Amino acid sequence: MGRIKEILRLTAQIKKQSVSMQRRLLLYWFSMVLAIAAALLLILSVAGVFNNQSQKVHETLQLQLDNAQIQLEQHMESLEAYTIALSEQISRELDSLLTENGMTVADLNDNPELLQRLQENLMPRLYMALQLSRCSGAYLVLNATTNTSSDKASHSASGLYLRYANFHAKGAADQDVVFFRGIPEIARAERLELHNRWNLEFDTDLFPGYDAWMQTEVGRLADSCRWTERFRLTDTWEDVQLLCVPILDKSGKVCGLCGMELSSLYCYLSYPELNSSFGPIITVLAPVEGTKLLLDKGMNGSADGTFLTDADTLSIRDGRYFSTYSSGSDRYIGLHSETEVLGADGGLSVAVLIPESTYAACRDTNRLVLILCSLLLLATTAGLSVFLSKRFVQPILQTIQAIRSEEVTGEGETGISELDELVAFVSSRSNAKALQRENVLPPDMEELFRSFADRAKTLSTAERTIMKYYIDGHEITEIPELAFISIHTVKKHNSNIYQKLGISSRDELMLYIDLFRRLDRLNELTDTP
Amino acid sequence: MKRFLSILLCMLLLLPAAGCDSAREEQPITLTIWHVYGGQTDSPLNDLIEKFNQTVGKELHISVQVTSVTNTNTIHEGVLAAANNDPGTPELPDMFISYPKTVLAMPDEEILVDYRDYFSEEELSAFLPAFIEEGTIHDRLVILPVAKSTEVLFVNKTLFDRFAAETGVTLKDLDTWEGLYETAVLYAQWSGGKTFFVHDYHFNYLQVGVESLGGTFFDEDGIAFSPAFSKAWEPYAEAALQGGVWLYGGYATEPLRTGDTIASVASSASVLYYSDIVTYSDNTSEEIEYIVRPCPVFEDGDKLVMQRGAGICTVRSTPEREKAAMVFLKWLTAPEQNVELVTRLGYMPVTQEAFDTYLPQAIEELEDPKYRELYRAFLQTQEEYTFYTSPQRDDYLAIETSLEEQVRLLLSAAAKNYQAGDDLKAAAQAVLQELKTYYGK
């Protein structure tokens, strides 16, 4: 309690101490600056400028995720629609051919002529499906083989597989198609090149899930569209995912598969990375298992400018604004969402990813810019406060200095009316004191004396001699004797003297002479001009 | 105070750009490439690119992405379409494989990097001078040699041996074109109409054949049709009319894979595409062996053989991307990588050091008998033959494409109409006349 009292006492003493006007003004300015800065910070934080890089990146990611999801779902849906139509066409063609020949699907085995006829009939449909769809290949495979006695008959199935040889995402109008699987005569008739690793039939052991498909009971085709997981297409340099839609015989049993191929290159070219202010945004369509995003089983857009590879499996950690995806060596931020696209083991998710390092660098840069901006604002306003305070007190100081050196004239010189008034007041008081101290006449009096002295200079020599006698204290009657002139002449001179000096009587003259004497300025009246 | 403020201002001006950019610099530069080394199969260059990406590339933050593996003609069309900004064409990649014909046909060669800006004289002197000269167009080195090939004869030894055992023909018969065509006709008779031989490029056969016979293949307008042309044409057309020569399009490897032919003359680089298994139309397969021999020549012609092998062009972009491309190309053409690449592809390296120091050992270490055969034939060719390089003509590809097409079409049509006993020479001459007429000669 005693200590508080002591502090209060000290504060009171400090308050009583005199503080310079500039310092006080500076303090006011600075308080105002701080108040403005605080208000600005409040407004900015309410507006979400601070911190909300996370919010901004979330918005960017969400927008891209929504776009990518729509784009991918439409793409996949259109492929599914084409493939369902293709499957139905194949079923009709198959049914028609088998009915015409009185055969069943099983009779296609060991019947190369019929298989060739069937492939000839189906080739235009497959070719058209390939050209109309946004895909890198199209295939159809029937559960029958040319030669059941061949060593590989148990895992060999006849079919057609066309692929683009040199795919470019932008235009599919005139792209080279190669004949990957099928009867070579059909390729030659169509003037198509055989693939460098052409084979007559499909090796079903290499076709993911083929055997399971052949055992599947299928209701509606639309409910039976599935994408395989990504796998390396044997004898090629590309990874692919195949859309599988069953081909049904007339009894509704699965007798083959058809579908479209999406190669990793197709996805790379079709879904380029998007440049955002936070870094490149990569789009992927891949399965999520638990907390893992399996890129090695999905279709990935271009990841140019990042270290992301198709082989990565990313561990997901959810966050408030975005999830973090870690490959072990690299981290990404992003969002993902389940799509309607079905993979082998359930739905596939679309994910959009940004390298965490580019995001963090942009975020840190923004923070630093903000801090530097604040510092700059503070420094500028502080500097401005000092400058304005100085500027404000400068005339006061100058006036004080002038007063000290007694150079003030009392006229408005500072440009500040209050100050001029003060100066005038101080000046008048100091003038009065000076007059008192140094017999200095007030200006109007001085003027009066000076004009009188000037007029005295107009007197003639005789008149000045007469006035000199008055100054010396002689009476009018003594002057004729002293000056050797008549009294009449003296009176005449007197009359001239009064007229020239602007007075009317000798008493008035004597009053002036008395005043000049008191001021010790008689010489001004007696000195010859 | 003033200094503090100016530093603060400078930082403010530089930071927003520098912060994001510096983070992006830490991310890799991704370079795209269109190449031809591997076609649609597993590509040895893709493997090497992966190796680069995982080693030097990873360290220097450079990643090379293959966006097309095709052939030089497709790249030619793609590059010209992209360079002319045709609708629907993709952007040019950072690097692509090209012959001079592509560069000559481009609307503006200046869009390609002059390698002399990035390679020192010493680095360039490591390459064989002829290859550097070949890549220099209008005094700018725009095509960097990577691998060189030649044409050789591939024979399905397994099937040829069966044929030879019954007919007495020998591999020696295939040393000359005359012998090869006779054998082809004999094979067609022996096999009941099967084709013996397939040319990868009929155009190359005629071009090198004419030149080896002392003629000139090209004239100002296109093909010269000199007497030497007729001399090269006759045995070839006569064999084709009798079913001895494969006249369908596509690569020579295709009919060998289906057993439809058993011998081919093709680029040494096609070794990658020859399969050791032949699959017949009844879905049975057979493992086969190959023999590789130097390209046949005319009995009274010079031992001349086509030298092929394109190089890599780099498209101008930013100095950073161009420098990154040079890092990759210097790595790729360093003798160790270069020999690894070429010996997996059936090419020859492009630097003297690679030839002298690395190639002999690499050949010794080859495990695939087909590749050992190839390099034996390759070295024999190098010793005995003179290499022929096609002239640099703007219309080269157009002539090549049209002649290939016309020869196949005209001979196919004539072969269908040809009956045993018809005047063979007259029939062959008639087709030649048709061909000349097509070209207005």
Q: What is the CATH number of the domain that holds A491?
A: 3.40.50.2300
Cβ pair B239, B184 in contact under 8 A: yes
Residue A468 has a pLDDT of 87
Q: How far is B288 from chain A (nearest CA, A)?
A: 15
Question: What 8-state DSSP symbol labels residue B273?
Answer: G
The CATH code of the domain at B150-307+382-438 is: 3.40.190.10
Average pLDDT over residues B175-191: 96
Residue A411 has a pLDDT of 58
Residue B22 has a pLDDT of 56
Contacts of A200 in chain B (CB under 8 A): 279, 281, 283
The number of residues in chain B equals 441
- Cβ distance B9 to A376 less than 8 Å, yes or no, reads yes
Q: What is the DSSP string of B211-232?
A: HHTT---B-SSSB---HHHHHH
Contacts of A195 in chain B (CB under 8 A): 40
Average pLDDT over residues B363-380: 91
Residue A432 has a pLDDT of 67
Q: How far is A111 from chain B (nearest CA, A)?
A: 10
Q: How far is A415 from chain B (nearest CA, A)?
A: 30
Record the tokens describing residue A293, joined without a space: 């995003």
Question: What 8-state DSSP symbol labels residue B176?
Answer: B
Sequence-ordered list of residues with C-beta below 8 angstroms from that of A326, at least 6 positions apart, any chain: A314, A315, A317, A332
Question: What 8-state DSSP symbol labels residue B39?
Answer: T
In a domain, A363, yes or no: no
For B300-339, letters b (16+ CB in 10 Å) and e give ebeebbbbbbbbbbbbebeeebbebbbbbbebbbbbebbb
Q: How far is A246 from chain B (nearest CA, A)?
A: 24
B28-148+309-350 topology per CATH: D-Maltodextrin-Binding Protein; domain 2 (3.40.190)
Largest CA distance in chain A: 183
Cβ pair B38, B272 in contact under 8 A: yes
Of A112, A372, A383, the CB nearest to B282: A112
- Cβ distance A150 to B258 less than 8 Å, yes or no, reads no
Residue B4 has a pLDDT of 56
Of B12, B26, B41, the CB nearest to A235: B41
* pLDDT value at B9 more than 70: no
- Cβ distance B16 to A372 less than 8 Å, yes or no, reads no
Least reliable range by pLDDT among A39-53, B100-114, B354-368: A39-53
Cα–Cα distance for residue pair B172/B181, rounded to 1 Å:
13
Hey, how many other C-beta atoms are within 10 angstroms of the C-beta on A444? 8
The C-alpha torsion from A473 through A476 and A477 to A483, rounded to 10°, is 80
Cα–Cα distance for residue pair B241/B260, rounded to 1 Å:
17
Of A198, A201, A279, the CB nearest to B257: A198
Record the tokens describing residue B226, joined without a space: 């000199």
Nearest to A276 by CA among A49, A134, A71, A68: A68
Residue B14 has a pLDDT of 53
The C-alpha torsion from A447 through A452 and A458 to A459, rounded to 10°, is -170
Handedness of CA A31, A32, A34, A38 (dihedral sign): positive
Write out pLDDT tens, residues A406-435. Answer: 666 655 566 677 777 777 777 777 666 666
* pLDDT value at A14 more than 60: no
Write out pLDDT tens, residues B31-71. Answer: 999 998 887 777 889 999 999 999 999 999 999 999 888 88
The C-alpha torsion from B37 through B39 and B44 to B50, rounded to 10°, is 100
Domain boundary among A268, A295, A330: A268
Q: B109 exposed, middle or buried (CB, 10 Å; 0-12, 13-18, 19+)? A: middle
Sequence-ordered list of residues with C-beta below 8 angstroms from that of B152, at least 6 positions apart, any chain: B265, B266, B267, B268, B292, B293, B294, B295, B374, B377, B378, B381
The C-alpha torsion from B413 through B417 and B422 to B425, rounded to 10°, is 0
Closest chain B CA to residue A381: B5
- Cβ distance A193 to B249 less than 8 Å, yes or no, reads yes
Record the tokens describing residue A451, joined without a space: 């004009």
Q: What is the DSSP string of A282-334?
A: EEEEE-EETTEEEGGGSEE---TTS---TT-EEEEE--SS-EEEE-SS-EEEE
- Grouping H, G, I as helix, E, B as strand and the rest as coil, residue B31 is strand
Question: A525 versus A122: which is more confidently predicted?
Answer: A122
Nearest to A374 by CA among B119, B367, B11: B11
Record the tokens describing residue A474, joined without a space: 């002689």
Write out pLDDT tens, residues A140-159. Answer: 999 999 999 988 899 999 99
User: ∠ CA B114-B116-B117 to the nearest 5 degrees?
Assistant: 75
Of B16, B26, B273, the CB nearest to A369: B16
Residue A37 has a pLDDT of 80
Closest chain B CA to residue A236: B41
Nearest to A279 by CA among A528, A108, A47, A57: A57
Average pLDDT over residues B355-382: 91
**Count of domains for chain A:** 2
Contacts of A170 in chain B (CB under 8 A): 88-90
Averaged pLDDT score across all residues of chain B? 90
- Cβ distance A304 to B30 less than 8 Å, yes or no, reads yes
Residue B237 has a pLDDT of 96
Question: What 8-state DSSP symbol labels residue B28?
Answer: P
Cβ pair A354, A334 in contact under 8 A: yes
| ipTM of predicted complex | 0.79
- Cβ distance B283 to A235 less than 8 Å, yes or no, reads no
Q: What amino acid occupies position B399?
A: I
In a domain, A57, yes or no: no
User: ∠ CA B72-B78-B80 to the nearest 5 degrees?
Assistant: 100
In a domain, A425, yes or no: no
In a domain, A428, yes or no: no
- Cβ distance B90 to A145 less than 8 Å, yes or no, reads no
- Grouping H, G, I as helix, E, B as strand and the rest as coil, residue A77 is helix
Q: Could you give the C-alpha distances from A252 to A95, A140, A143, B68, in angstroms and in order?
A: 11, 17, 14, 41
Least reliable range by pLDDT among A164-178, B225-239, B416-430: A164-178
Range of the domain at A504: 441-526
Closest chain A CA to residue B72: A166
Q: A15 exposed, middle or buried (CB, 10 Å; 0-12, 13-18, 19+)? A: exposed
For A298-333, letters b (16+ CB in 10 Å) and e give bbbbbbbbbbbbbebbbebeeeebbbbbebeebbbb
- Cβ distance B40 to A372 less than 8 Å, yes or no, reads no
Closest chain A CA to residue B14: A369
- Cβ distance A152 to B283 less than 8 Å, yes or no, reads yes
Q: How far is A422 from chain B (nearest CA, A)?
A: 36
Of A173, A191, A306, the CB nearest to B249: A191
Record the tokens describing residue A521, joined without a space: 């300025």
Contacts of B80 in chain A (CB under 8 A): none
- Cβ distance B23 to A112 less than 8 Å, yes or no, reads no
Record the tokens describing residue A173, joined without a space: 């109008």
CA A425 to chain centre: 58
Q: Please state the pTM of the whole predicted model.
A: 0.73
Contacts of A194 in chain B (CB under 8 A): 250, 254, 257-258
Residue A169 has a pLDDT of 47
- Cβ distance A237 to B16 less than 8 Å, yes or no, reads no
Q: What amino acid occupies position A386?
A: V
In a domain, A117, yes or no: yes
Residue A436 has a pLDDT of 63
Per-domain residue ranges of chain B = 28-148+309-350, 150-307+382-438
In a domain, A299, yes or no: no
Q: How far is B125 from chain A (nearest CA, A)?
A: 34
- Cβ distance A170 to B248 less than 8 Å, yes or no, reads no
Average pLDDT over residues A45-69: 83
Q: A475 exposed, middle or buried (CB, 10 Å; 0-12, 13-18, 19+)? A: exposed
Contacts of A304 in chain B (CB under 8 A): 30, 63, 65
Hey, how many other C-beta atoms are within 10 angstroms of the C-beta on A394? 12
What element of type H or E holds A240?
strand A239-248
Average pLDDT over residues B222-251: 93
Hey, how many other C-beta atoms are within 10 angstroms of the C-beta on B371? 20
Place of tokens 């090269």: B232
Closest chain A CA to residue B86: A171
* pLDDT value at A357 more than 80: yes
- Cβ distance B283 to A201 less than 8 Å, yes or no, reads yes
Contacts of A365 in chain B (CB under 8 A): 15-16, 18-20
Cα–Cα distance for residue pair A332/A474, rounded to 1 Å:
121
* pLDDT value at B159 more than 90: yes
Closest chain A CA to residue B37: A237
Cα–Cα distance for residue pair A22/A175, rounded to 1 Å:
82
User: ∠ CA B147-B153-B157 to the nearest 5 degrees?
Assistant: 125
Structure confidence at residue A16 as a pLDDT band (50, 70, 90): low
Q: Could you give the C-alpha distances from A55 to A58, A320, A470, in angstroms and in order?
A: 5, 9, 106
Cα–Cα distance for residue pair A175/A138, rounded to 1 Å:
14
Question: Which of A108, A168, A300 to substitute to test the interface with B, most B CBs within 10 Å?
Answer: A168
Contacts of B89 in chain A (CB under 8 A): 168, 170-171
In a domain, A67, yes or no: no
CA A180 to chain centre: 52
- Cβ distance A362 to B20 less than 8 Å, yes or no, reads yes
- Cβ distance B12 to A376 less than 8 Å, yes or no, reads yes
Contacts of A168 in chain B (CB under 8 A): 68, 78, 89-90
**Residue B416 pairs with which residues in a beta bridge?**
none
- Cβ distance A358 to B41 less than 8 Å, yes or no, reads no
Cα-trace Rg, chain B: 25
Helices (H), A195-255: 210-214
- Cβ distance A372 to B28 less than 8 Å, yes or no, reads no
Domain boundary among A235, A268, A301: A268
- Cβ distance A358 to B78 less than 8 Å, yes or no, reads no
Record the tokens describing residue B440, joined without a space: 């207005």
Residue A3 has a pLDDT of 64
Structure confidence at residue B73 as a pLDDT band (50, 70, 90): confident
Residue A172 has a pLDDT of 46
* pLDDT value at B153 more than 50: yes
Contacts of B23 in chain A (CB under 8 A): 279, 357-358, 360-362
Residue A18 has a pLDDT of 58
In a domain, A330, yes or no: no
- Cβ distance A171 to B248 less than 8 Å, yes or no, reads no
Least reliable range by pLDDT among A143-147, A234-238, A299-303, A511-515: A234-238
Of A152, A304, A357, the CB nearest to B65: A304
